[in-house]
Amino acid sequence: MSRIFLIMLLLYSIGCQPAPGAGKKMYKWVDKQGKVHYSDTLPEDATPQQKIVYDKKRARQIGVIEKAKTPQQLAREARLKELREEEKKLLAEQMARNRALLRTYRNEEDLNLALQGKIHTINSRITVLEANINRQQALLAAKIQQAAEIERNGRQPPKSLKNKIDSIRRKIHQLNVKIAREETAKQQLKVKFQQDLQRLRRLLQHFGESGKKVAVIRPDTEDMGKHKTILSIVHCKRNGECDRAWQLARIYVLTHASTPIFINSPTIIHTKDPRQDDDIALTVARIRDKSQIDTLFLDVRCKMSSLGQELCQSDKVREIRLGFPVFIKQALTSSAQ
């Protein structure tokens, strides 16, 4: 606080008694030309800049009136809020699936028994199909032998017999195709089992951990952001490019998050909540729309504490958010060359 300003406040508090109904606040503001003013009232031309409010009687600062936000700032804040709503929706959907998994399987043994039951069902269908193939092959052999005997007698096999042979061969081919599909389904079931097993292990560990849920805070919240709002997003085409970008996003999370991955699904990658003041938790949401373009959105979570809030506003977190789209785009460009 400048010496001149202190003198002014003293004059107000000692020598200048306010008239009845007069205000008890004093404003420090800057006009459009950058000139500093002190006054009891706040002119309209002070609105573009930050205003500081002082208590005239006690000569102390009692508040700050931030400068008006530009349309661009308001648009970025609205977009960030929209992206976080989509992230919250995807996370809620995945957590619902997680709860359904826990309701269905109490432990790994339950999951393994369910897998064996499904595989047994598929193997039973394959056995039936193989038995049908054996019957058709026996029938085919008989028809081919019948046609050969007719030819040995110097006659041409009738067209109906040839059509029957062709029909049996088609049936055998169709049965083999069905068996191949069943085998593929069995392999897919085993892959899904491994995914569900890993997810079940993470869930059992997560919900088995002691301690209360940790409150978190994010950058650029209403009471925090002093810098330009960051939209850490990547747009990608749904033609295979997004699948590669999603793999890169997982690598980025593993590299920059200090908490382990808790959810790893096709639509959201989510690390565990921060437990320590210096923990950085990350979430990447894959937001789809009606077009063939997906949006990959990176968000940060810090522990709700003074140090956690300071971390979320730090240059380190800003670099993580700004670096996400750069990393994805550069990696996609390199792989395309």
Note the pLDDT of residue 281.
96
- pLDDT tens string 215-235: 889 998 765 555 678 999 999
Supply φ then ψ for residue 271, to 5 degrees.
-90, 165
Average pLDDT, the chain: 83
Q: Which two tokens stand for residue 183?
A: 């085998």
pLDDT greater than 80 at residue 70: no
- pLDDT (mean) for 195-214: 74
Note the pLDDT of residue 334.
86
Q: How far is CA 169 from the centre of its chain?
A: 50
The rounded distance, in Å, linking the Cα atoms of 98 and 88 is: 15
Q: Which two tokens stand for residue 161?
A: 């017999």
Strands 36-39 and 25-30, by their bridges, are antiparallel
pLDDT greater than 60 at residue 167: yes
Supply φ then ψ for residue 180, to 5 degrees.
-60, -40
Provide the phi-psi class of 34: left if phi over 0, else alpha when psi is between -120 and 50, else beta: left
Task: Compare 319 and 67 and report the one with higher pLDDT.
Answer: 319
Note the pLDDT of residue 98.
84
Note the pLDDT of residue 201.
83
- pLDDT (mean) for 73-80: 87
- pLDDT tens string 124-134: 999 999 999 99
The rounded distance, in Å, linking the Cα atoms of 330 and 317 is: 20
Note the pLDDT of residue 243.
92
